[in-house]
Amino acid sequence: MEKFKTLTLGTVLSLLALSSCSLPFASCSDTSTGETTSQTGTSNEVTSTSSTSETEPFPIPDSSTTPLEGNGLMVTLGREYISEGTSFLDATDPYVSFRYNGVARDLTSAQYKVKIVNDETGEEVAKDELLEAGLYKVTISYTYASETFNTTVYLSVRPHEAETDKGYEKVELTHTLAEDQSLGVFGPEFGNYSQQIPADAAPATVGSPKFLIVPISFRNEEAWQADELADLNDAYLSTDLQDRGGFYSVHEFYYRSSYGKLDLDIEIADPFVMPLTSYAFQNKGDSAMNTLLTDFVSEFATKRNYDFNNYDEDQDGYIDGIHFVYKLDRAIDGDFWWNYTTFVDYAPDSVKSPSGQMMAAPCVFFFSAYESMMSVYHNIPDSHTVIHETGHMLGADDYYSYDMNEAPAGGSDMMDLNVGDHGAYTKMLFGWVDPYVINGESEHFEITLRPFEESGDVIVLRNSSEDPFNGTPFDEYLTLSYYTPTGLNEIDSQGFPEWQGVGAGGIYSLPGLQVFHVDARTGVDRGGYFQSQFEYIDPTDFDETSGDVLQVAASNTASYSASRNIRLIEAVASDGKDHFAPSYSQYMDDYLSEFGNNEILFGLGSSYGGSTYGNSKFKAMFPSNGTFNDGTLPDYSFRVVGMDEQGLTLRFDANAA
């Protein structure tokens, strides 16, 4: 690393500026550092530097001016020599105060204006944009009582070569749902511990869990027909559905999405006619699902002699997963017939065969309409909904808001609007990918990500020094992955009929860097729906003998979170604006108007909203005082420096370098 003779971090630059008036001037010497600062003043401009080494590529002019008294601005910079790839606000950490009639008060960056001009080219740069190497003239101004006060300083931005194969490391995650399902979607809901199944009852997220698909009908409805059963088989097991104008089958999707780690063992049973009419079944209300499971056990275990132990691949005492697919001849009405995933609290020793043998019990199951598989691509079966619900069975939450007034994750995710591939957080949660974690071992480096849908390459970024990543999916961080409209994303990037007229009508049609802010921290509820009463505890530090219940604090539905201000996963748009924030409107056209907008992605060229990330530029994404919810911030800025079909290259620069 190059060595420069510069101001130390503790040496600050204090400047006092006037409005249109003149005051006496003086010079002084800083005997504590041996550096000399010349101070003079004019009515329009104040500058300041210390002596610099001849090795500086862009030395600051050896002069400074400042008045000794009067009204004006006081500016303190943590650094006047910074590294390229960082912004003025992030790297200099400016402290600005205003003195008027002997009274001083601090100013926030939102109160004063900053004009940054490249001294050589005259090009103006925004205060929160990442700076290239060069000398910059920075003018800070503030208007008070119809007077404008200005001060000007110089800022030197040093060039640095980017290292490769350094600054990051591949981290093998622990506490994924592949190891422990207790923190999945069937763990306790915040404030409601009854919504919890045994930790091992949900199906495994890796390997070959057994899924039993049960077509059901009712005694007053038409029975399943051969062509309908063929559709069901296609939706779950076809290997070429995507080649016939549809989406992928359930098996094909999960095998590809998991990079071969999840090979669902799916069996479709012969149809089962419920002894009730559909009307009598619906009238049972909340108890209907218990009735369904009771009738299922009676029919399959007793009459059909099914050995449920054959559907318990992980041998935890529970059937890995059951999908009940019903058909009605009449129109589906109301929430009762909605597609959803749920569970029943059968004890693992409560089901016996006719001979008295203990068998695996039902627990997690999915209830869905045949019609939902046939309403999108017309005569071709569609598995989007079934794939989404299978994601719930594996332990993923919904990424849309049940409050129906915001779209935190932006829509373009299988666990959001039932489209495209699973995203980086979900795949980390399921134990399918291990991330590259920025570790602080290099101040300037580059890394190339291959397309995420085919490689699983993902970067995790959070503060690498004050509070490093805990090595689990259950932390707060940014995920960075290279989205491409290929593979499992290709079909929905061309438009999805269900979402026609909403935003772009489909997921992103261009490749680009996809960034999410994830807050999956865990903890213990100490008394209710108030953040101050929620104690955050890493799963790595949790005492399982304590009797406490560990849970994920955040949801993408505000009313389900430990605090209404935090979300589980949020799309970070490349222009720094929160495009999916809560709205007073409950119309999708409003809060999902940016769904599939390519400008959300980071990339090179006019089709994208931007190519750079710096903390100050993205303050709108972090309403907790401009920081992560845990009070930290990433200590790096990054930018896209190259992208093609093979990969996307990012450059990282430490803000404090």
Structural domain containing residue 113: 13-160
Verify that 338 and 459 share a domain, yes or no.
no
Mapping DSSP to helix (H, G, I), strand (E, B) and coil, where does residue 236 land? Answer: helix
Range 544-573 burial, b when 16+ CB lie within 10 A, else e: eeeeeebbbbbbbbbebbbbeebbbbbbbb
End-to-end CA distance of the chain: 11
Total tally of structural domains belonging to the chain? 3
Verify that 602 and 564 share a domain, yes or no.
yes
Question: Is residue 189 a part of any domain in this protein?
Answer: no
Phi then psi dihedrals of residue 132, to 5 deg: -85, 165
Verify that 390 and 458 share a domain, yes or no.
no
> Can you list the residues of the chain whose pLDDT is less than 70?
1-54, 63-69, 186-199, 346-349, 376-378, 528-532, 583-589, 657
Question: Is residue 91 a part of any domain in this protein?
Answer: yes
Verify that 68 and 145 share a domain, yes or no.
yes
The pLDDT of residue 657: 67
Verify that 74 and 149 share a domain, yes or no.
yes
Spatial distance between the Cα atoms of 615 and 638, rounded to a whole number of angstroms: 10
Instruction: Print the SS3 string covering 74-138.
Output: EEEECCCEEECCCCHHHHHCCEEEEEECCEEEEECCCCCEEEEEECCCCCEECCCCCCCCEEEEE
Verify that 39 and 113 share a domain, yes or no.
yes
Verify that 283 and 236 share a domain, yes or no.
yes
Question: Is residue 149 a part of any domain in this protein?
Answer: yes
Spatial distance between the Cα atoms of 630 and 617, rounded to a whole number of angstroms: 19
Which residues, listed in sequence order, are joined to residue 92 by a DSSP beta bridge?
A: none
Verify that 374 and 488 share a domain, yes or no.
no
Question: Is residue 526 a part of any domain in this protein?
Answer: no
Verify that 487 and 621 share a domain, yes or no.
yes
Show which of 369, 394, 419 is a domain's final residue.
394
Verify that 508 and 650 share a domain, yes or no.
yes
Show which of 102, 132, 160 is a domain's final residue.
160
Show which of 360, 394, 428 is a domain's final residue.
394
The pLDDT of residue 532: 58
Verify that 427 and 352 share a domain, yes or no.
no
The pLDDT of residue 44: 35
Verify that 362 and 480 share a domain, yes or no.
no
What is the pTM (predicted TM-score) of this model? 0.88
The pLDDT of residue 38: 29
Question: Is residue 585 a part of any domain in this protein?
Answer: yes
Helix axes 250-257, 226-237, angle to 10 degrees: 0
Where are any strands of DSSP class E within 501-623? 512-519, 522-525, 534-536, 551-552, 569-572, 612-613
Question: Is residue 287 a part of any domain in this protein?
Answer: yes
